[in-house]
Each structure stands twice: as structure tokens, then as C-alpha cells.
Amino acid sequence: MGRPRYILLVRHGESEGNCDKSVNRHTPNHKVCLTANGHYQATAAGSVLREFVEKLDINGEGDNKNARSIMFYTSPYLRARQTCNNIIEGIKDIKGIEYDIREEPRMREQDFGNFQSTAEEMEKIWEERAHYGHFFYRIPHGESAADVYDRVSSFNETLFRQFQQDNFPNILVLVTHGVWARVFLMKWFRWTYEEFESLKNIPHCQYLIMKREKDKKFSLKTRLHTWDDDDVEDEEIDEQVSREVEDEVCFNTKNRVANPEDLDIQNIIKAQQDVIKSTREKNRMLKEMYEKIHNSKNGYTDYAAKRISRFKIDNQSVANSAEDLAT
């Protein structure tokens, strides 16, 4: 079978809509473009991918597959396409590189309902969604995350059929959006909706790394952060990321640190320090909003009590990665 060795999900770079929500009142969501900082983030992601690919032996897979072959799937939204193009600029001249690009409408972000209304009206919608639940709440004239789940399921079936081809590339890169990426992982690893709702959004241009193990199934190597994670100061980020890299390598190699199997992806994880910092302030504001809602008199329950299960690495294990089209 032609399953890739690596599946990398990456959220688009910072967009104009991320910086100024009023943009969504007059610009269609699919036409919202990257900011200058977003282009910088995407270019940096291209450099990270380049460093990773250059360390792969061209003929290192042992199955007549070029280890430096890549399939890019991108959301058709402008900010995702721009991100994909910036990433490709960083890898297109690597010796032995082979890559293909496909746009996939099923990878578009959750539909938030055409042009958005006033800030006051949108705030009411976000508060209502917080009460109702992020996964099942359908945005007026738009989608719920559950709707996104349905098209992710269809897309996964397409991927599984393509994995039957012996010549499928060694690396699959999915350039997409925050909600879509989390729903993709939820479907793939069979997470509960409570686990989905416990996750913080993914930083712009952070790679989420899935790696095929010896049993042919994929495991998630990137630690995802939840709303009940303790925040750390900026100066502690470097130490935290280094510790997470070490913990993940030990976990996934059963503490065989002398010959760790995941050193091939270590440089990608270490390169995420800046993108982790970039979303900390936004996450802090969101957390305060949700806690205020659920601790208010009109709130249903305490916010912390609604999170049924804390997200741990065993929820991201190979055991959950059963690629069964019948389920």
C-alpha cells in the first residue's frame, strides 16, 4: 500500500480576519487574505519543512518510494492557498523533491454564515455557542463543527482510497484551518466531542505531525493544548517545548532514548516555539470569556465541570488510529 510515512496538518498564517473581525462584514470569508505577518509565518513554515525534508534520504523508504515526495492538499480559501504557496517556495528547489498540489473544497473552514453582522450581534452568537456547545452549535446561515465532521469523513474516505496506490507520496501536507484540523484529528483518532471542545485552537502555521508506525497505523506526535492547561510565561516556553519533545520521544519509543525512533521529527516540534507564543494572548482572552459565561447566573454549569475528560497523550495513541471505513 502507498500510505504516506508522514501526514502534516498546518493551519494557515495570520489573516486579516484574525486581526480585525470587521473584515468579515464586507469581505467573503473565502477571499480573506494573509497579513504581512501571515506571509512571514507561512514562509517560516516552508523553511521548517525544508529542514525536515533535506534530512530524509531520497531512497530511504525501502519500498521504491522517493522519501522527498510530497502531496499538498489545500483549502480553496485564499489565506490557505497563499500559505501553501509560501511553504512550497521553501522546498521547491530541494534536490530530488517531487510534489503535487490539489485544492480540496471539503477542507474549507467551518462556514460562519456569509457576511457577518455587527460586533454586538456576533458576540451574542459566540455566547450562545459557548452555552450550547462548540461542536453541535450551528452558526445562523452557516455550519456547526458537526457539519464539518461530515465532510471530513468524506474526505478521509477519499484519502484511504488514494492510499491504496503504491505511488502515493511519502509526505502528505494538509494546509487548512483551525476548526477543520481539529475535526480531522477528532475523526481520525475517534475522539469524543468533549475532547474536541477541550482543545485550544492551533497556532498559525504550526505543524501537527502524524507518523506511520511499524504496524502501519498513524500516531499523533504533536501535543495539543487544552483549556485547562496551566499557562506559562514567555520565558518558560522554550523550556516547555524542549521538555515536551523529550517526553514525546520517550513515550513513543517506550523510553528507548538511546535509539529514539522519532528524532526525524524533532526539529519540526522544536521549531514551534514562536507559533505557540503567538496565540497565547488570544487564548487567554477566550478562556476568560468562556469562564465568565459559564460562571454567570445564566450559565448552565461551571466551565471546568463541563470538560468531562482532560486531553492526555493516550487519547492520541495508535490504539485510536483504526482506519475503518465502516465506522
Which of 14, 16, 109, 143 is the catalytic position?
109
Fold (CATH) for 6-320: Rossmann fold (3.40.50)
Active site residue 141: no
Nearest to 202 by CA among 172, 174, 177: 177
Every domain of the chain and the residues it spans? 6-320
DSSP helix/strand/coil, 121: helix
Q: What is the dihedral of CA 9, 14, 18, 19, to 10 degrees?
A: 170
Render each residue's pLDDT in the chain as its tens digit; 327 residues.
678 999 999 999 999 988 888 888 889 999 999 999 999 999 999 999 999 999 988 765 556 789 999 999 999 999 999 999 999 999 999 999 999 999 999 999 999 888 877 778 878 887 888 788 889 999 888 999 999 999 999 999 999 999 998 889 999 999 999 999 999 999 999 999 988 988 888 889 999 999 998 888 898 988 788 876 655 554 554 555 555 545 544 444 444 433 356 778 877 776 666 666 666 666 666 666 556 655 554 544 444 444 444 444 444 444 444 444 443
Which of 12, 204, 225, 294 is the catalytic position?
12
DSSP-derived pairing of the beta strands 171-176 and 98-103: unpaired
- Report pTM: 0.79
Active site residue 157: no
DSSP-derived pairing of the beta strands 6-11 and 171-176: parallel
The string of DSSP codes covering 256-282 is -TTS-TTGGGHHHHHTTHHHHHHTHHH
